[in-house]
């Protein structure tokens, strides 16, 4: 297969497996999505979805959030990890949203990245899932699969995002990044990987990855 054919194969197989794409983090608007994505750093979506209802019951908009102290926010979100940094970020960005944006979440990635505790990935997820603006947020699953499929060199997530945007049609970015995440979780995880279940990697994966897999399997 040429690389172009491999890209087409991956797109078609992902569309076949995930014609309807569930959003991993529960939310009701751009603000609650922003908070949920911020909380998901070095945590799991399952854990975040367990904690956000407790937080949003107290404050589901920036005006209510700033009425809570950083310590109160921290006590609620402690189970998701990194609560000192995340609670300061949630309180701080809520203040800025009120002061600069009338309590609304901006739809511009650059403006989002100026908010406390909001990095490029978080900003990309928000513009993509909340506003429908084409973006390609790269998480560990996408970074791993782009390398396994031979679509990126695995050097860093910046390069992976650049390669993904170059290879995939822009109109598919918002769906594809979610489809790849779900595929990585279900069929091509970092641990407990069974290549027989991983139809995309077994078909188009880079030879070094496939050889390493089989070598490791034989040594067990």
How far is the C-alpha of 210 from the C-alpha of 13, rounded, in Å?
19
Residues 37 and 127 occupy one common structural domain: yes
Please give the model's pTM, rounded to 2 decimal places. Answer: 0.90
Residues 170 and 193 occupy one common structural domain: yes
> Can you give the residue range of the structural domain that contains 117?
30-131
Check pLDDT > 80 for residue 28. yes
Check pLDDT > 90 for residue 217. no
> Considering 116, 131, 146, which residue would you say is the last residue of a domain?
131
> Considering 115, 131, 147, which residue would you say is the last residue of a domain?
131
pLDDT at 70: 98
Q: Is residue 173 very low, low, confident or very high in pLDDT (cuts 50, 70, 90)?
A: very high
% of residues, the chain, pLDDT over 70: 100
pLDDT at 171: 97
Residues 165 and 83 occupy one common structural domain: no
Crossing angle of helices 3-17 and 173-186, rounded to 10°: 80
Check pLDDT > 80 for residue 169. yes
Check pLDDT > 90 for residue 105. yes
Active site residue 139: yes
Which one of the listed residues 139, 155, 170, 218 is annotated catalytic? 139
Which one of the listed residues 6, 86, 121, 163 is annotated catalytic? 121
Q: The domain spanning residue 169 has which CATH number?
A: 1.10.1670.10
Q: Is residue 80 part of a domain?
A: yes
Q: Is residue 165 part of a domain?
A: yes
Residues 35 and 106 occupy one common structural domain: yes
Check pLDDT > 90 for residue 190. yes
Q: Which two tokens stand for residue 114?
A: 């100026």
Q: Is residue 123 part of a domain?
A: yes
Q: What is the mean pLDDT of residues 43-68?
A: 97
Please name the residue ranges forming H helices in the chain. 3-17, 30-39, 45-58, 62-65, 70-77, 83-101, 109-113, 120-131, 140-148, 157-167, 173-186, 199-204, 207-218
In the chain, the number of structural domains is 2
Q: Is residue 145 part of a domain?
A: yes
Contact 83, 89 (CB under 8 A): no
**Mean per-residue pLDDT of the chain:** 95
pLDDT digits (tens, 9 = 90+) for 132-167: 999 999 999 999 999 999 999 988 999 999 999 999
Q: The domain spanning residue 77 has which CATH number?
A: 1.10.340.30
Residues 76 and 38 occupy one common structural domain: yes
Residues 107 and 180 occupy one common structural domain: no
Region of poorest pLDDT, from 21-25, 128-132, 170-174:
21-25
Active site residue 121: yes
Q: Is residue 71 part of a domain?
A: yes
> Considering 131, 165, 183, which residue would you say is the last residue of a domain?
131
Residues 8 and 35 occupy one common structural domain: no
pLDDT at 119: 95
Q: Is residue 220 very low, low, confident or very high in pLDDT (cuts 50, 70, 90)?
A: low
């Amino acid at each position: 297969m040429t690389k172009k054919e491999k890209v087409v194969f991956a797109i078609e197989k992902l569309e076949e497996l995930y014609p309807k794409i569930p959003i991993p983090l529960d939310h009701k608007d751009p603000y609650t999505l922003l908070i949920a994505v911020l909380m998901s750093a070095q945590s799991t979506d399952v854990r975040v979805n367990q904690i956000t209802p407790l937080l949003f019951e107290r404050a589901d908009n920036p005006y209510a959030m700033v009425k809570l102290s950083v310590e109160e926010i921290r006590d609620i979100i402690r189970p998701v990890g990194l609560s000192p940094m995340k609670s300061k970020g949630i309180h701080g960005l809520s203040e800025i949203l009120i002061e600069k944006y009338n309590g609304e979440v901006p739809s511009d990635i650059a403006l989002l990245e100026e908010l406390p505790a909001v990095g490029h990935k978080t900003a990309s997820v928000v513009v993509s899932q909340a506003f429908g603006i084409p973006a390609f947020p790269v998480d560990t699953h996408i970074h791993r699969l782009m390398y396994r499929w031979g679509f990126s060199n695995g050097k860093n997530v910046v390069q992976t995002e650049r390669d993904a945007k170059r290879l995939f049609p822009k109109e598919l970015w918002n769906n594809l990044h979610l489809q790849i995440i779900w595929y990585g979780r279900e069929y091509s995880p970092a641990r407990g990987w069974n290549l027989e279940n991983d139809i995309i990697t077994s078909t188009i994966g880079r030879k070094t990855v496939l050889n390493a897999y089989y070598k490791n399997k034989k040594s067990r």
